[in-house]
Amino acid sequence: MDSTAHEDLLDRARAWLAQDPDPDTRAELRALLEAAEVGDADALDAIHDRFATRLAFGTAGLRGELGAGTNRMNRVLVAQAAAGLAAYIAERAGVAAAEDEGAAPAPLRPEAPVVVVGYDGRRNSDVFARDSAEIFAGAGLRAVLLPRMLPTPVLAFAVRHLSAAAGVMVTASHNPPNDNGYKVYLGGDDEGSQIVSPADAEIAAHIQRIADAGDIAALPRSLAFETAPEELVTAYIEATAAVAPAPESAEGMTWVYTAMHGVGWETLSAIVERAGYPAPIVVPAQIEPDGSFPTVVFPNPEEPGAMDLSFAAADEAQADFVIANDPDADRLAVALPDPTGGWRRLTGNEIGLLLGWRAARLAQDSDGPRGSLACSLVSSPGLQAVAEAHGLDFHATLTGFKWISRAPGIVFGFEEALGYLVNPETVRDKDGISAAVAVLGLAADARRAGRTLADLLAEFDETFGVFASDQVSVRTDDVAAVGTMMSALRAQHPESLGGVPVTQVDDLLEGVDGLPPGDVLRLWLDDGSRVIVRPSGTEPKLKVYLDVRAESAQEATERLANLADGARVLLDGLA
């Protein structure tokens, strides 16, 4: 780095320091600056990492590591994001937001757009949420802060329940402990779904304009925000308990629950009681919110070891099954006793197909309009078989519930990464709590007939065929290398995988099947298998999703293993 670039970097860091209201990040950066100014190369590298770029605002909002700088989550970045979002909301509503230097907070009008803000138990979530509420109120919006840390689905519910123009959830979901994030929902025509393009770019432009203006201390703030009444949380509890009220057969059901150090337990326990299910055996070490996540390396139920404490509790209690939420309770994991010993966590596809089958039966029995089932295009094609068997429409979408929730006529949606939308009239996003209630209902109904959730999985296979899925990937040290690999695949499609001819290749950059363009290749094989290749949205990784449909579990296992071997050979040739 030449001396001019070096000094420019330090100037940006000094300017950021001058407006930072957080004593912790100020101290962090001041120490780095003092070291860098006397020639410490490591300190200069650390400042470069924090200031050479900026956390990008996209359809997933913001998410990143906590710390000082434009490439970290902190109070400066959150204030800029809140002010930019406020300007976007005001512009969308045709009103003027107060954001000019020295401006007094805008007076609240009765017709002011409503913005509701929620937060989870991660470090600084409550601080970021209050900062946002003050800035929204200062901009003349009607800001409503949820009464305490609560699950993401409660915030998504609140956007619809309050007819809000927008909602913000401060959470990094199941990311590492030192991360946090800023997730945005829109009301009105968006019906409480997460943002999609072009809203993300429009909000990002407002945020950049605020950042370019300089000092966040000049942003109008107001303490005239509201705290949501407890009745809002009660309304979510009642609506979610109604997803699957407990039948008499639920009596005596034994199950284990873990909140994974997150915020799910308080809300879920109230719903379980309201719906009439027996209380679970909880994992005490993981039941209360703790943003340091002391008992898990990575607070994600999909990660190896994350559910070990719940399995130990289930062994001791001889439980029928285990249910886990991730830290903000928008995802759900389920585990069953393994006939060979121990516990087996069901895949997201297995849970999604069971819940989709349940939703299809309910929709078929209702007098309402014909509904639809939806899943991301990398999730199991078994959901389409369920929809067709029950006379429902089916939609495959790009990955993410921002797309799944927008499927026309949706009555159920899921994605293989443990996300399920079971109550779209209440929450237009994945909801691990309502999904847990639906699983409890399935288990209780099976129990009435002397059966288990494992029996329901076997019945699904007998009814629709065996749908088996797997995933392989290759990780690189360079994000650009992933794009290079995708380009190589587009230039030269494989003629076969695992010895099975490839009969069709769909390039979703060209907008296949009415989907928005996406960096995805979909390959169809001669035996009906499906292979999807896409870059990871969060890591420098190329991911390959494999799906087969077979007459028996043994055939499915053999074909899937062969397909996985073929995919690894393909990836080895690209890496």
Q: Give the separation between CA 166 and CA 113, rounded to whole angstroms.
A: 8
How many other β-carbons are positioned within 10 Å of the β-carbon of residue 10?
Answer: 17
CATH assignment, 229-455 = 3.40.120.10
Residues 142/148, Cβ–Cβ less than 8 Å: no
Tokens coding 137? 């109120």
Tracing tokens 């596809």 back to the chain, one arrives at: 349
pLDDT, residue 101, reads 47
Structural domain boundaries of the chain? 1-52, 57-228, 229-455, 466-574
Residues 326/173, Cβ–Cβ less than 8 Å: yes
pLDDT, residue 365, reads 82
Closest to 260 measured CA to CA, from 313, 183, 323, 179: 323
Tokens coding 180? 């946090």
Tracing tokens 């397909």 back to the chain, one arrives at: 563
How does pLDDT run across 77-104, given as a tens digit for each residue? 999 999 999 999 999 988 765 555 455 6
CATH assignment, 57-228 = 3.40.120.10
Closest to 54 measured CA to CA, from 211, 274, 230, 266: 211
Residues 152/104, Cβ–Cβ less than 8 Å: no
Q: Measure CA of the first residue to CA of the last residue in the chain; give whole Å.
A: 30
Q: Give the separation between CA 194 and CA 203, rounded to whole angstroms.
A: 13
CATH assignment, 466-574 = 3.30.310.50
pLDDT, residue 154, reads 98
Same fold across 57-228 and 466-574: no
Q: What string of H, E and C letters represents the secondary structure of 150-195?
A: CCHHHHHHHHHHCCCCEEEEECCCCCCCCEEEEEEEECHHHCCEEC
Q: Which of 3, 125, 132, 173 is catalytic?
A: 173
* Blockwise average pLDDT, block size 10, the chain, 575 residues: 78 94 97 93 94 92 96 98 98 71 58 96 98 98 98 98 98 94 97 96 97 93 97 98 97 97 98 98 98 95 95 98 98 96 96 98 85 96 97 94 96 97 96 98 97 98 96 86 92 93 93 85 95 84 94 95 94 86
Tokens coding 65? 């590591």
pLDDT, residue 8, reads 87
How does pLDDT run across 357-412, given as a tens digit for each residue? 999 999 988 877 789 999 999 999 999 999 999 999 999 999 999 999 999 999 99
Tokens coding 307? 């559910």
Active site residue 173: yes
Q: What string of H, E and C letters represents the secondary structure of 212-252?
A: HHCCHHHCCCCCCCEECCHHHHHHHHHHHHCCCCCCHHHCC
Q: Give the separation between CA 353 and CA 381, rounded to whole angstroms.
A: 9
